[in-house]
Amino acid sequence: LINNYSENLSENEYDFTDREVEEDDTKQSNNEIINRTIRTRIHSQLLGEEIVEKTLEKIDWHDYELIARENARTGLGEGGSGVEPSSQDRNNPEFERLYRANGFNAFISNKISLDRSLKDIRHPDCKKRLYLAELPTVSIIIPVHEEHLITLIRSIHSILNRTPATLLEEIILVDDNSNKDELKKALDVHISNLTKIRVIRLHKRQGLIRARLAGARKAKGDILIFFDSHIEVNINWLPPLIEPIALNYKTSVCQFIDIIKWENFAYIAQDEGARGAFDWNMYYKRLPLLSTHAENSSEPFDNPVMAGGLFAISQKWFWELGGYDEGLEIWGGEQYEISFKIWQCGGRLVDAPCSRVGHIYREFNPHSGFIFNNYISKNHKRVAAVWMDEYAEYIYKRDTHMKNLIPGNIQKQLQLRKKLECKSFKWFMENVAYDLVQNYPPVALSPYAEGEIRSMATLLCIDTKYTREHSTFGLNRCLRDHRDLSGEQQFELTWRPDIRPHGRELCFDVPKQDKRAPIVLFTCHGMRGNQHFIYDINSYHIRHVSTHLCLDCDLESKMIFMEKCNQTSKTQQWSFFSYNET
Ligand code: UD2
Ligand code: MN
């Protein structure tokens, strides 16, 4: 493996120096606080006061030599093209293993150069734009938990190759207690030896939020940039991202996030921009661009809520905002916390169309791990309780369980909100996310049922195994009885009413009315039809409304399907882990 990538590494123009892997102490020492205070003073001179833009020199930051070199590259995946798996690939046991372990086709990633070129898909105006000649320095912070090594190294290469060296203070990789030997070894030996790269190791899994905090505490750059470990930055991504911050340190900036397809690593645009938002189940959603943006489409525009993974913020503003809430666990919710804080406490969040970064959106999350610990809901509860005022009620009405969830100690966050004299959530909803309610109405309905769906005849559970759209699925041993298993057995019978694996927008769908009609996963449309199910608590039937068929299973093959309803058939009886009659 080392041989595989060391060749590529030496192509890199950065030299190697000895470095030690730093151990994290999670707590800050006094010295660090003093250091930060001194640094902060320097920052406020550098970034603090509004600078009059006109008087400052602007330059063309494009690296034309690099662009020419990249254009000349040929090979698999070059120019951001996709690499289709061959049938031989698919039959290789490693292909499936790497997919399961990562939630993307890491087998394909291994075939693509660490320095592959991308296609310049920016708005044409971006090619002509100039940015301040003097820009602040950046520290890039990347949390890493059991990530695929080659993909991580490609992320680092893309940063080192496409970032002006004068602006890059460092890349800080925070290893969130990964267990993979090859990953740990590569981080310790090869990666931490690269100039400008620092590795911090956490000895207990902290989750991505506290991992980012641990990185931020060590950062020396004026600006913090947070990334995931499976990204590729595109041409001239940095200057447009940080110029708005240089002009006002309370502005935080998000890149346009492009898609690196999990199937074949093709680099494609997600769309030509949208504004971030959420619905009242706290799922991240997007709002249309405003018409005012059309004439100025390469100009940064206001964004109510960031996607979470990729953004830039000045050190000074980040710490004035208290960093992230340390009580947020593992994954999720932090994008809302930081976005609400930025806006409500007097800052601004914008998207910069000329700064583009690709991200692999996984097909499923392979590390969700302990599904019995509902940390995502708890994170959302903390954010709602601190920042959302009376609007939190909409969430609680949707999900009664959220109302009773205890958020833990939030005194520090409440005090911060008071100290910074932050504005109300009503202000945010009326001035920043003013079209959110119209797009995502807070219909006050909670799921009818949620949790595992257990067959009373077999005592087995329905398991969708993070499978993709159009796939069928069947029964498996229940995770609740066998915690060593992996699988996807948490479902919701939503108010629409449809049945979906928790946190995914795929629904049980009955496309045909045959005998033993199959059930497949299909993108949720919320229009009832083929996705309309009800649960009858008296007969324990799960009934498909339009076909009048009942969910049934085969004792032998463990398949599930739809069959004519039969009151006495035990194979048609199902228990939902929880059921609300409201
Ligand atoms: C999306 C965001 C992510 C974060 C998350 C919600 C984008 C593109 N990505 O994540 O940044 O906001 O939603 O919280 O907007 N990791 C750890 N420890 C853990 C779990 C994850 O260090 O316990 C790392 C992981 O290696 C990765 C990063 O955190 O580098 C984000 O995790 P992900 O890529 O699994 O999550 P994703 O893309 O769904
Ligand atoms: Mn990610």
Which residue, judged by its Cα, is nearest atom 27 of ligand 1?
228
Which residue, judged by its Cα, is nearest atom 7 of ligand 1?
309
Confidence at 37, pLDDT banded by 50, 70, 90: very low
d(CA 229, CA 146): 10
Q: Tens digits of per-residue pLDDT, 214-247?
A: 999 999 999 999 999 999 999 999 999 999 999 9
Residues with a CB atom less than 6 Å from ligand 1 = 143-145, 147, 176, 205, 207-208, 211, 228-229, 257, 307-310, 330-332, 334-335, 359, 365, 367
Residues 360, 362, 367, 373: is their CA dihedral positive or negative? positive
d(CA 275, CA 570): 49
Whether the predicted pLDDT of 137 surpasses 90: yes
Which residue, judged by its Cα, is nearest atom 14 of ligand 1?
332
**Ligand showing the shortest atom-to-Cα distance for residue 336:** 1
The pLDDT of 256-263, averaged and rounded, is 97
The pLDDT of 555-573, averaged and rounded, is 95
State which amino acid sits at residue 157.
Answer: H
**Ligand showing the shortest atom-to-Cα distance for residue 259:** 1
β-strands 348-360, 251-260: how paired? parallel
Whether the predicted pLDDT of 567 surpasses 60: yes
Confidence at 527, pLDDT banded by 50, 70, 90: confident
Are the C-beta atoms of 565 and 517 separated by less than 8 Å?
no
| Interface confidence (ipTM) of the complex | 0.97
Confidence at 25, pLDDT banded by 50, 70, 90: low
Ligand 2 centroid from CA 152, angstroms: 11
Structure tokens, 134: 């003097």
Which residue, judged by its Cα, is nearest atom 8 of ligand 1?
309
Confidence at 291, pLDDT banded by 50, 70, 90: confident
d(CA 314, CA 221): 9
For residue 477, the model assigns a pLDDT of: 94
Q: What are phi and psi of 197, to 5 degrees?
A: -110, 130
Token pair 């833990």: residue? 408
Which residue, judged by its Cα, is nearest atom 10 of ligand 1?
309
Ligand 2 centroid from CA 108, angstroms: 17
Whether the predicted pLDDT of 23 surpasses 50: yes
Whether the predicted pLDDT of 399 surpasses 90: no
Whether the predicted pLDDT of 45 surpasses 70: no
Ligand 2 centroid from CA 513, angstroms: 39
d(CA 301, CA 293): 7
β-strands 491-493, 22-23: how paired? unpaired
Within 8 A by CB and 6+ apart from 174, the residues are: 24, 141, 142, 143, 144, 199, 200, 201, 202, 211, 212, 214, 215
d(CA 38, CA 186): 34
User: Of 104, 208, 362, which is best to mutate to test ligand 1, by the most ligand atoms within 8 angstroms of its C-beta?
Assistant: 208
Within 8 A by CB and 6+ apart from 508, the residues are: 498, 499, 500, 519, 520, 521, 531, 533
Task: Give the lowest-confidence range in 10-14, 334-338, 384-388, 556-560.
Answer: 10-14
Q: What are phi and psi of 12, to 5 degrees?
A: -70, 140
Burial class (CB in 10 A: 0-12, 13-18, 19+), 147: buried
- 360: Cα within 13 Å, side-chain hemisphere: 30
Which residue, judged by its Cα, is nearest atom 3 of ligand 1?
309
Q: Tens digits of per-residue pLDDT, 162-194?
A: 999 999 999 999 999 999 999 999 999 889 888
For residue 445, the model assigns a pLDDT of: 52
For residue 309, the model assigns a pLDDT of: 85
The pLDDT of 83-102, averaged and rounded, is 96
Confidence at 397, pLDDT banded by 50, 70, 90: confident
Ligand 1 centroid from CA 520, angstroms: 28
For residue 428, the model assigns a pLDDT of: 98
For residue 333, the model assigns a pLDDT of: 94
Are the C-beta atoms of 337 and 412 separated by less than 8 Å?
no
Ligand 2 centroid from CA 149, angstroms: 14
d(CA 231, CA 293): 27
Structure tokens, 240: 């447009």
Q: Which residue has the higher pLDDT, 271 or 327?
A: 327
Burial class (CB in 10 A: 0-12, 13-18, 19+), 66: middle
For residue 369, the model assigns a pLDDT of: 54
For residue 27, the model assigns a pLDDT of: 42
User: Of 102, 187, 227, 228, which is best to mutate to test ligand 1, by the most ligand atoms within 8 angstroms of its C-beta?
Assistant: 228
Whether the predicted pLDDT of 6 surpasses 70: no
- 412: Cα within 13 Å, side-chain hemisphere: 11
The pLDDT of 250-260, averaged and rounded, is 97
Classify 571 in phi/psi space as left (phi over 0), alpha (psi -120 to 50) or beta.
alpha
d(CA 230, CA 155): 6
Confidence at 504, pLDDT banded by 50, 70, 90: confident
State yes or no: cis peptide before 353, omega within 30 of 0.
Answer: no
Q: What is the mean pLDDT of the chain?
A: 88
**Helix extents (H) in 354-509:** 375-387, 392-398, 400-404, 411-419, 425-431, 436-439
Q: What are phi and psi of 184, to 5 degrees?
A: -60, -45
Secondary-structure percent of the chain, ordered helix, strand, coil, rounded to 5: 30, 20, 45
Confidence at 438, pLDDT banded by 50, 70, 90: confident
Confidence at 580, pLDDT banded by 50, 70, 90: low
Q: Tens digits of per-residue pLDDT, 51-75?
A: 444 458 999 999 999 999 999 999 9
Whether the predicted pLDDT of 138 surpasses 80: yes
Burial class (CB in 10 A: 0-12, 13-18, 19+), 298: middle
pTM of the model: 0.74
Q: Which residue has the higher pLDDT, 579 or 429?
A: 429
**Ligand showing the shortest atom-to-Cα distance for residue 228:** 1
For residue 194, the model assigns a pLDDT of: 87
For residue 297, the model assigns a pLDDT of: 85
**Ligand showing the shortest atom-to-Cα distance for residue 282:** 1
For residue 8, the model assigns a pLDDT of: 40
Whether the predicted pLDDT of 263 surpasses 60: yes
